[in-house]
Every structure is written in structure tokens, then in C-alpha cells.
Amino acid sequence: MSGAVCVQRPSPNCGPRRGGIVAPDMIVIHYTAMQSAVAAIDTLCDPEKEVSAHYLIARDGVVTQMVDETARAWHAGAGCWAGCDDINSRSIGIELDNDGFSPFSAPLMDALEDLLGGILSRWDIPAHHVIAHSDLAPLRKVDPGGRFDWRRLALGGFSIWPDKSDELPMRESLVALGYAVDEFGLEACLSAFRLRFAPMRAGPESEADRRDAASLATRLGVDPTNANS
């Protein structure tokens, strides 16, 4: 890492990646929903809690690494993304010190971009494989929530953001992006999509939803009309 301070606090809550996977190919962003970074780190390193993450970024920008990037941390839980239901074996988990309601601090966001830049480069992970916890588990998770600045990450090349596009069917676009519509349902996946890309949008599926989803799917070189359903 080039800018942020990084300290080590090894967690016992980890193991080898499963299914022959030796390298991560996605990153999952979380928030801690706790009162302090110290409390969150203590939880993530407590063997009785059986939860962990590779990194935690505090509000002041200090990064704590708890699990080696080559190992499987226990951060994603039950979920599915792009046809995979063992997200922990494929991913690196990053916890952000945030209560779920407050803005994310500038030092935290600066440190996150610095950390993401290194991880994406080390493991050759594409920007569209940086996802929200809510993306993979839309029925039970909302983090990192509507206050998180995904557009900033996209402008820095660390994630993706919609642009203008022709309207295409919502269901097919969401499947093309990786949402497990068959497992969680269209309504839940649409809510997760909005939480990330249009947190102020509500009500029935709209033309804006369809255009945004189609924009992202087509940018990834996927034809939503031919996506597996």
C-alpha cells in the first residue's frame, strides 16, 4: 500500500480457499455497523464469533489486515453472485468502519481506493468484480448501504457505474450482471441494484432502472437478451 497506514491483527477465523480455488477474483465491500473500529476488529478476531474479513478500514484511514489475501476469510455468508454460492472462496472481504447511517469519511475512502488499487493489480481482478455485500445477499444484507459512494470508486477505475443506454429487460440485465434472480427473486435483486446505483429511487420497476442495468450489462460485453435465466 502506498499511502494508508496498515497494521496487522491476525484473525484465527479463516482457512484455505475451497474447490481448488487458489486466487481471489472478486472483492466484497461491507460496513461494520458497530460503534468503533476497535470493537469491530475485536469481533472479527474472536474465535467464538466465527466471522472475519481480510481488511478493515477505520474512519481515520488506518487499515488493519486480519487475514492473508491468499486465505479464505468468513465475511460473505450465505449468498450467490455470478453463479457462485461460495463467495468466501473467491473473494477478498473489506469491512468499512461505518454505522450504516453516517457518511463515509474522506480518510476512509482515500485508504479504500489505495487498498483496492493494490488488490486489483495483484490479482488481476476486473473493476466489475468489486461488489456490495447486498449484491450477493439481497434478502438479508444492505451494506455498504445507500451512503456509500460507488460513483467515486467507478470514476477512479475501482468499480462500475451506469451511463446512457437503450432500455432492455430488467430481469435479463440483472442476471447478466451477476444477480441471482432465480434464487432471491426480481424484487429483492432490483432493491439491491437500486441500493448501490440509485438509492433514492423507489416504487415499481422503472425505465430508469432498465436503462441503468442495461448500460452496465452491455458495457461488460454481455447481451442481456441472451443471459441465462
pLDDT 10s digits, 32-52: 999 999 999 999 999 999 999
Query: 49-79 b/e with 16+ CB inside 10 Å = b?
Result: eebbbbbbbbbebbbbbbbeeebbbbbbeeb
- Note whether residue 164 is domain-resident: no
The single residue of 48, 69, 95, 205 carrying the catalytic annotation is 95
* 221 Cβ neighbours under 8 A, 6+ residues apart: none
pTM, to two decimals: 0.93
Q: Are 139 and 29 members of one domain?
A: yes
Is the Cβ–Cβ distance between 89 and 17 less than 8 Å? Answer: yes
Q: Are 47 and 96 members of one domain?
A: yes
- Note whether residue 216 is domain-resident: yes
Domain boundary among 155, 186, 208: 155
Which residue type is seen at 21?
Answer: I
95 is catalytic: yes
**pLDDT tens digits for range 133-177:** 999 999 999 999 999 999 999 999 999 999 877 788 999 999 999
Q: Are 118 and 34 members of one domain?
A: yes
| Residue 159: strand pairing partners | none
Q: How confident is residue 223, by pLDDT bands cut at 50, 70 and 90?
A: low
| Domain limits for position 180 | 170-226
Q: Are 143 and 112 members of one domain?
A: yes
Q: Are 24 and 111 members of one domain?
A: yes
What is d(CA 134, CA 140) in angstroms, rounded to the nearest whole number?
A: 8
Q: Is 123 helix (H, G, I), strand (E, B) or coil?
A: helix
Domain count, the chain: 2
